[in-house]
Structure 1
Amino acid sequence: MKEIQDFTNECLKSGGMSQNTLKSYQCDLSKLENYVDSLGITEIGKVSEKVLKDHLGQLSEKGYSPATIARNIVSIKALFKYLVKNEIVAIDASENLIAPKVELPKANVLTRRQIEDLLDMPDARTAKGQRDSAMLELMYATGIKVSELIGIKISQLDMQIGSIACKNNKTERIIPFDKRTKAVLTRYLQDGRRHLITRTDEELLFINYQGEAMSRQGVWKLVKSYARQADIKVPITPEALRHSFAAHLVERGADIEAVQFMMGHVSPVSTNRYARENRDYIRDVYDRTH
């Protein structure tokens, strides 16, 4: 339908949406469009609440997970919000759609000892080692996403007070980091980085051997490599450092809202799981030892 295409084009032009979100909208709304076409409906104004619910019911019957169906509802609601705002339809047919309850997967959290072992692996005598050390330290010290890490510019760092500014969807959050991370970053900035950059006006903080931006796959591989060197047996990805950052803060009594802000969570539900899992851990220790 033209209206669906117009909506996704508007999302693209706005520039305030990540590529992953845009792809999700396109994928989800393509499913909706195919279902509507199968019913012979050619006008968006004739897509009723019943049609939407039947579509979602069909997705469930096909074996789509509650998380995927919940995401489809988000996409559909975004579409109808656009349609109502632009007076293309008078009634929001998605208003009463309720997303199924989604159980968040258990966070992959490392112990403090495992974190220390991992952070000690890079060889600080080399430019690569200094870069890798700075990346690992910053991920654990701030809980930033890999997509944020590889896009950090020098201008986002405030080395005087020890913080990083992360922008996402037109919002900004300032995340502090500790003296240890500050020292590792300072060493990399003063020494290792100058051996990696190919031009003096390079803005990116982390650079590969080709003088280009690090890739997500590159970060994933180096984390895996250092985990093997540290003899960490549990599965580990860059996301584990992010989860460990949040879980260890909560474990030490950090305010949930503060952790939510630093993690960039829109909903407290995502952050609350760290508190819930910490309580489960304490209960397990109590049951085994008391």
Structure 2
Amino acid sequence: MDSGFMAERAVDPATGEARWVVARSATLELQLEATAFIASLRSRGLSPNTERVYAGRIALYLNHCAERSLDWRAPSFLSLSGLQRWLVTEPLLPRGRRLRQGKPVFRSRNTANAVMTAVGGFLRFGVANGWVAPSVAGLLSQSKHLVHAPAGYEVGERDQFRIIDAAAFRFRITEPGYEDLTPDQITHMMDLALRARDRFLIALLACTGVRIGEALGLHRQDVHLLASSRALGCTTEGPHIHIHRRTDNPNQALAKARKPRTIPVTADLVALYTDYQYERDAVPEAADGDMVFVNLFRPPLGRAMSYPNTKDMFDRLARAARHACRPHMLRHSAATAWLRAGVDRDVVQYLMGHVSPLSMERYRHVDDTETRAAVDRLEALRARQ
């Protein structure tokens, strides 16, 4: 389709900096408004991976409008509602596993909500820059009365903050769908991983709860695994890692949290890192690299591992384990394990790198064992009385 749009990775010839843009499929001509919006994400400190995802979602919106002869700058309530409905009723194009399975696959409501969030941000950006009529902004939100406020939310002395602006085009989802992995599943994943580097990455995510971008952005100087690191100028005792926000990592990995933090690690993780170093030392191209996670098994050898390479690895593990295995599931697992073990919520919030305590609500999962234990404790108490 000549008028179609796509997300494309572009490299600035002057600086060599890679960024994501939205361009016409046939001519690679930039869609200036969408590209400016994607550029604004980077100026807000969001990661290149977020740029990539948003670029794809905005291209999807532009194509949806072009195919229906709609002006993307002047969407009506009905057209936005139609987009929301189309997102969950239109089968995805068959490719990869979808092509092999031969069955239609549809977007989830969670995914549709994420697309509508990106479209809403793009249109509001257009309003701010005069490309989109101010009236469009009024279509994107609606007043909502909070009957049950989230934990930690201040409603005000007269409940004046119970009225909020909520997204108008958003499917109601009763179950957030946050998933974690059991210790047995994590152990099984590590058993299935054939390489010391991959086993160390899995264990690092499960032990520290760091985001995948934070793990891929680690430099060797951030990893302090001796009993004392004073010789390195670090006063933190015991083995630990440092998480820093860097914007110049060669693999574009970016720590989401703006504040640096230090996370202790276990002796088992130190041993796995040692195994990984032996594996890495066998690849001369990786000897002098500063990044912790690098390519060892396919070219370009020694280059920092990228998001796509890491996703491929976890996809292979998921197929072998016969259950979902995503990096963020290991992060949820770490937080849930800490909370179940009675670790103070403020400590868990620091370890996870969250600014708001409201972000902690997603991690606490109650399982059947805990509910049975609660009933048994009450029964035992009554029996003693």
What letter is aligned with 2:50?
Answer: T
3-state SS of 2:171 partner: coil
Distance 2:50 2:352 in 1: 18
Which range moved further: 136-145 or 265-274? 265-274
Change (3 A) 1:101 1:158: farther
Distance 1:53 1:84 in 2: 19
Of 232, 249, 252, the match for 2:341: 252
Q: Does 1:79 align with 2:125?
A: no
1:41 Cα deviation (Å)? 3.9
What letter is aligned with 1:272?
Answer: E
What letter is aligned with 2:261?
Answer: I
Of 288, 291, 299, the match for 1:201: 288
Q: Quote the residue 1:101 is aligned against.
A: 172
Q: Quote the residue 1:32 is aligned against.
A: 61
Q: Quote the residue 2:371 is aligned against.
A: 283
What letter is aligned with 2:241?
Answer: S
Q: Quote the residue 2:71 is aligned against.
A: 42
Q: Quote the residue 1:8 is aligned against.
A: 34
Name the structure with the higher strand share. Answer: 2
Distance 1:166 1:8 in 2: 30
What letter is aligned with 2:265?
Answer: D
Distance 2:290 2:108 in 1: 41
3-state SS of 1:163 partner: strand
Q: Which runs of 5+ in 1 are unaligned?
A: none
Q: Quote the residue 2:302 is aligned against.
A: 211
3-state SS of 1:202 partner: coil
Change (3 A) 1:152 1:23: same
Task: Indicate conservation of the 8 Å contact 1:166/1:172, yes or no.
Answer: yes
Distance 2:109 2:189 in 1: 35
Normalising by structure 1, report the TM-score. Answer: 0.70
Task: Indicate conservation of the 8 Å contact 1:24/1:75, yes or no.
Answer: no
Percent identical among aligned pairs is 20
1:147-206 CA distance string (max 9 Å, x none): 443342213335533222153357344240234257437745875543445255311113
1:95-118 CA distance string (max 9 Å, x none): 33332233232523213x665687
3-state SS of 2:205 partner: helix
After TM superposition, the structure 1 = structure 2 runs for residues 91-240 of structure 1, keeping only pairs within 5 Å, are 91=134, 92=137, 93-96=139-142, 97-98=167-168, 99-102=170-173, 103-105=175-177, 107-111=179-183, 129=196, 131-132=197-198, 134-159=200-225, 160=229, 161=236, 162-167=240-245, 168-169=255-256, 171-180=258-267, 183-184=270-271, 187=274, 193-198=280-285, 200-207=287-294, 208-209=296-297, 210-214=301-305, 215-217=309-311, 219-220=313-314, 235=323, 237=325, 239=327, 240=329
Which range moved further: 242-251 or 27-36? 27-36
Distance 2:189 2:58 in 1: 42
What letter is aligned with 1:6?
Answer: L
Task: Indicate conservation of the 8 Å contact 1:143/1:245, yes or no.
Answer: yes
3-state SS of 2:57 partner: helix
Q: Does 1:53 align with 2:81?
A: yes
Q: Quote the residue 1:242 is aligned against.
A: 331
Change (3 A) 1:170 1:286: closer
Q: How many residues align?
A: 275
3-state SS of 1:278 partner: coil
1:50 Cα deviation (Å)? 4.4
Which range moved further: 73-82 or 187-196? 187-196
